[in-house]
Structure 1
């Protein structure tokens, strides 16, 4: 397996060099990152090298007025330092990177508070009374993930941290635990009409208005509903995940190797404590904060009369107010005060675990920061224009092949760059115009675009969801990415065939 990975990594580095010599500079950083990441099985270092290479190429072109105006004319590495600052500042203004950073930090603190209270241990204890086998622990992981459909970050962090002690007990490899999460976390957000992905994607669609004879609803949720039946990769991922946990589909080599290395821990004899119930924690220490998190993610605060003062019931009233940052911020404050006031945990322990939660997410934030920087430097090198021009320039593009081409091209672009929302926002109008001019099915084409970004986010070795899944499951990120990739290839292959067939019959 390692020798095959090395060959693939070297091939990608060769492809990166080839792109440089044929003046496809926009692709050089992405292929370099992928090649080094696959060879070294590291996450942060390849991203830093890819960003550095991108800024070297950018310096040779004189810089970028649009993306890094203050660094125009700077030499490397000064332009990279300036670029990091500019990227963070820009995303802070656009509520992009800073939103992700705040959500990740607060989730880290939230999870640690639940751990300190014994709430997560109580869930594990309760589950152990009902989970008796290794397979049941995986089945529970799979179905528990469905309760966290609001956001892929919420699913990856909450389910991973909750189920890891249980699956460890039954000898499930952490790579397989992460695999099950990867089947559900991202795909679930685009087949349920209430999620952060749905809000973002639906907003891009609703901005299109009318495209030919297709009328797109001004409501973000209602606009996105038209794509849900055609999100083939998401549906196939959920189905394949169920087949894997029920052992209908056998483990492939990477997971088999990880499972073979697992050593089931011997049960530890614990000393009898005077108050074991208090040590174990209460189940509602986990349930109450979680209910606050879910409720405040979906609904605004009670005093928001612009929302609650309206008696008009509509989909916008339910779907239009989802805010993951509001939800996790409120849940953290509630949990902190609840544990403090009712003396669930002593003040010094609450503070210690709160800070510990912030610290555990530091590496994740570093990876995410350089992922965003890589995306920006690629855009500065003309990545967006490269994608658009080459998508429109395919000679054998027609109404029947458009969904297949959109899905395949977008899937591998998102896989190579780790960017999905940005690619989606760029290509929504292009795909809409192409489907109209070629006479292709509008919703099938848009579904293919959504499906491609979802597959790319789930399959990419260094996407934000891969980082968080690996962190919550306590597994090496590259090991997780490589072991789950063969399953992602199956999902890609089946989805591609379905888009190809549907393009001809719809």
Structure 2
């Protein structure tokens, strides 16, 4: 009965979208939708359908088709060309995107090699002796996520592959693991000076020392700090609420790590082929080589070996290329290591390559559709529309500007699924408005933009980091989206209040010290979670 009701709801939602598009045919022209609110309609359609139907592939594709129809003025030929030539084929021809896909495939192969060699199982046994509680397993996951701050893509997949066996042993749901991975990916990278994110932000600043500005924004990046603090509060209070509470309760009481009938990953691929147990070194060598090689690969692309300093090399690095080079070298090292130790034969190693690719196919498909959807919004002029809206609101509301920029960045990143795209739109506007006039407001507004972009990206079902957090945890993607949303909104609400307070205090001349709002926000967050704990929250044993 429930399945029939869900099917009816999904069909009704798709029918409403079709009716909306039919109505839009008579209300718009190809020219009138450019650089207007219509540019945000395709991602809104995709996100709404995904949340209602709980089916991400068709929802994303219908969002892409919506963009194609609006762009072409409902021309059949024009829509096909725009969707496939300007959309899917174009994003799969982009060097950055192809690099990320290659990195995904290589990492998938390495995960399979570690599983086949028994390294993952050996690490799980070792961790089981040293990590004795659910809280300890969650803290270990958080610490590992914070330590891998080089790049969010690298973080999502590496933390998942290392910690999945540990959290499974302690009956932590895959949805909770996905949240911990996601919450230590972008939120950590955005406050880490040595990361691909610091390089990206620095690149969007013209006429200023981008890295210097980035360092000054860290104390004002309230959402990143509150998200990290929230994970620790949840563990300390043994608290889960919203849909996550059901997933955690099922994991503890029923040993059901997924809750829903749908499963992610293929458990048959987790089975070691060796007759004798693996060793922890079979996990450590591939992971350590991956970390080292990826760091070297990134600074190599930033001309570190041509004389640039380490910081400048990171600021100028190409994360996509660097991760591909580093992960490939690490893969070769791992293959050689296993074969020299007679852990796996050459044929067994080669069997892991297509299996690793197969495991990453769902993430690759969702990423391709998400990138294509972004191409639709770009072609419709979403950047220009948002830029004009922000500029028009930059006068007369100075004290409210960090608060407003935070909200705008959240909405834009949620709708487009990209933090970096949001940086590219908003940071140049903020710099142009405040450069040379109000340095404190420049730093505060840049921080609000960065924090809002990370927040929107964090909870967006079409975000690449959200997608890869699901892949890393082998969690059903929409389960991850649903379960982490209440947590993201809680941290976002407290962050918005902190930006409102900071703006008022700075403009009124009381103080421009970020730690006043930071510590005040942490206190509010703790009180809110304590209130939830005493009310509807569910404690995990």
Higher helix share: 2
Conserved? CA contact 1:204–1:425, under 8 Å: yes
The 2-side partners of 1:472 and 1:286 are apart by: 16
Which of 69, 74, 80 aligns to 2:77? It is 74
Equivalence for 2:123? 123
Equivalence for 1:42? 55
Matches within 5 A, 1:213-292: 216-217=208-209, 220-247=210-237, 250-262=239-251, 263-264=254-255, 279-292=276-289
Bigger mean CA deviation after superposition, 352-361 or 115-124: 115-124
Tell me the CA shift for residue 307 of structure 1.
Answer: 3.7
Tell me the CA shift for residue 33 of structure 1.
Answer: 0.6
Tell me the CA shift for residue 341 of structure 1.
Answer: 3.0
- Distance change (3 Å), C-alpha of 1:479 and 1:317: closer
The 1-side partners of 2:302 and 2:89 are apart by: 37
Equivalence for 2:388? 389
Conserved? CA contact 1:169–1:264, under 8 Å: no
The 2-side partners of 1:305 and 1:371 are apart by: 28
Equivalence for 1:212? none
Query: In the alignment, is residue 426 of structure 1 matched against residue 422 of structure 2?
Result: no
The 2-side partners of 1:99 and 1:355 are apart by: 18
2:184 counterpart SS class: helix
Equivalence for 2:524? none
Tell me the CA shift for residue 170 of structure 1.
Answer: 2.1
The 1-side partners of 2:88 and 2:461 are apart by: 25
- Distance change (3 Å), C-alpha of 1:468 and 1:306: closer
The 1-side partners of 2:39 and 2:300 are apart by: 48
- Distance change (3 Å), C-alpha of 1:257 and 1:303: closer
The 2-side partners of 1:302 and 1:405 are apart by: 36
2:79 counterpart SS class: coil
Tell me the CA shift for residue 445 of structure 1.
Answer: 0.8
- Distance change (3 Å), C-alpha of 1:99 and 1:302: closer
Matches within 5 A, 1:44-193: 44-60=57-73, 74-88=77-91, 91-92=94-95, 96-193=96-193
Equivalence for 1:28? 41
Tell me the CA shift for residue 189 of structure 1.
Answer: 0.4
Query: In the alignment, is residue 315 of structure 1 matched against residue 314 of structure 2?
Result: no
The 2-side partners of 1:341 and 1:482 are apart by: 45
Give the TM-score normalised by the residue count of structure 1: 0.84
| RMSD (CA atoms) | 3.3
- Distance change (3 Å), C-alpha of 1:308 and 1:472: closer
- Distance change (3 Å), C-alpha of 1:414 and 1:344: same
The 2-side partners of 1:485 and 1:313 are apart by: 40
Conserved? CA contact 2:64–2:373, under 8 Å: yes
Tell me the CA shift for residue 241 of structure 1.
Answer: 0.9
The CA deviation string for residues 413-464 of structure 1, in whole angstroms up to 9 with x for no partner, is 1112212212211222112122349846111111111111111111112211
Tell me the CA shift for residue 86 of structure 1.
Answer: 4.6
The 2-side partners of 1:175 and 1:137 are apart by: 14
Which of 283, 286, 294 aligns to 2:291? It is 294
Tell me the CA shift for residue 230 of structure 1.
Answer: 1.5
2:399 counterpart SS class: coil
- Distance change (3 Å), C-alpha of 1:86 and 1:302: closer
The 1-side partners of 2:65 and 2:300 are apart by: 48
Q: Structure 1: which 5+ runs fail to align?
A: 63-72, 210-215, 266-275
Give the TM-score normalised by the residue count of structure 2: 0.79
The 2-side partners of 1:400 and 1:98 are apart by: 43
The CA deviation string for residues 180-236 of structure 1, in whole angstroms up to 9 with x for no partner, is 22221110101111111111112222xx11xxxxxx22xx54442122122111111
Tell me the CA shift for residue 482 of structure 1.
Answer: 0.8
Tell me the CA shift for residue 83 of structure 1.
Answer: 2.4
Conserved? CA contact 2:150–2:196, under 8 Å: yes
The 1-side partners of 2:473 and 2:302 are apart by: 41
Equivalence for 1:400? 399
The CA deviation string for residues 466-501 of structure 1, in whole angstroms up to 9 with x for no partner, is 111112222211111011101111111111111111
Equivalence for 1:484? 484
- Distance change (3 Å), C-alpha of 1:353 and 1:431: same
The 2-side partners of 1:395 and 1:287 are apart by: 51
Equivalence for 2:456? 456
The 1-side partners of 2:488 and 2:41 are apart by: 24
The 2-side partners of 1:387 and 1:305 are apart by: 31
- Distance change (3 Å), C-alpha of 1:301 and 1:279: farther
